[in-house]
Amino acid sequence: MIELKTPAEIQRMHVTGRFVAEVLSEVGRLADVGVNLLDLEHHVRGMIKRRGAESCYWDYAPSFGRGPFRNVICLSVNDAVLHGLPHDYMLRDGDVLSADLAVSIDGWVADSARTVVVGTAAEEDLRLIRATEEALEAAIEMARPGNRLGDISAAIGAVAADYGYPVNTEFGGHGIGRTMHEELHVPNLGRAGRGLKLRPGLTLALEPWFARTTGRIVYDADGWTIRSADGSRTAHSEHTIAVTEDAPLVLTRRESEGPVSRADSAGRLSVKDA
């Protein structure tokens, strides 16, 4: 069942979305050479606790995972792209880090992801990240009343094709609102003019993700972390959006998207900060 949200309910989701955006901005600021993924995880735990929010990932146990998930943020490095389990790993110069976060505040959920480069950025990594960001913006632009779900998927696929990246359709966007995953799967590849007609009040998490040279995926032994099947690098961009009578409303937009390279970062995270 698809639940259309009222303007007041969308505003409550927007409150959550602003917090998610704040956390991801902080993760991007702190991600630096020598920072441990576990320190980032514990720093985010502290932010969630202080805000009185609830993690949507903690105890998450879908059929595809080896659950329950016992972390509050997904941190995926290089060829890992989705559901990355934070573990004892020190970020290295040139690493590509994707951070994905979903939380609930007062019963309303928002979900977002971003990818940054740690330290010195290779142009091919920046290009891959730009592709996911452009695909996300193209998808958001199609989230208007009267358009169809396939228009969103087709917009993502068109950007991937322009860049020459393959697309995986096993994992994509989804409905969102009172829970992290609601009705509607939003593939990252589709046919324009097909699928559900979009109506005001529809809330979606749109999340294009690409690997450089493959559309196939493999799972780590941890049962969660998803990687490109050929080891090529990956990137992931996601926003929670609402279809309105006017323009699409991005509920997780960061105040400043900032550079995708972390080369100029001045902040380091230590265990005492977490």
d(CA 182, CA 53): 19
A 10 A CB-CB count for 246 gives 9
d(CA 11, CA 5): 10
Domain assignments of the chain as residue spans, ordered by start: 7-250
Work out the percent of the chain whose per-residue pLDDT is above 70.
93
Assign domain 7-250 to a CATH class. alpha beta
For residue 61, what pLDDT is reported?
A: 84
pTM: 0.91
Q: Determine whether the annotation assigns residue 238 to a binding site.
A: yes
Q: Determine whether the annotation assigns residue 32 to a binding site.
A: no
Q: What is the mean pLDDT of residues 80-103?
A: 97
Q: Determine whether the annotation assigns residue 170 to a binding site.
A: no
Beta bridge partners of 197: 148
Q: What is the mean pLDDT of residues 197-225?
A: 97
Residue 273 DSSP label: G
For residue 152, what pLDDT is reported?
A: 98
Q: Determine whether the annotation assigns residue 83 to a binding site.
A: yes
Q: Determine whether the annotation assigns residue 43 to a binding site.
A: no
Q: Determine whether the annotation assigns residue 111 to a binding site.
A: yes
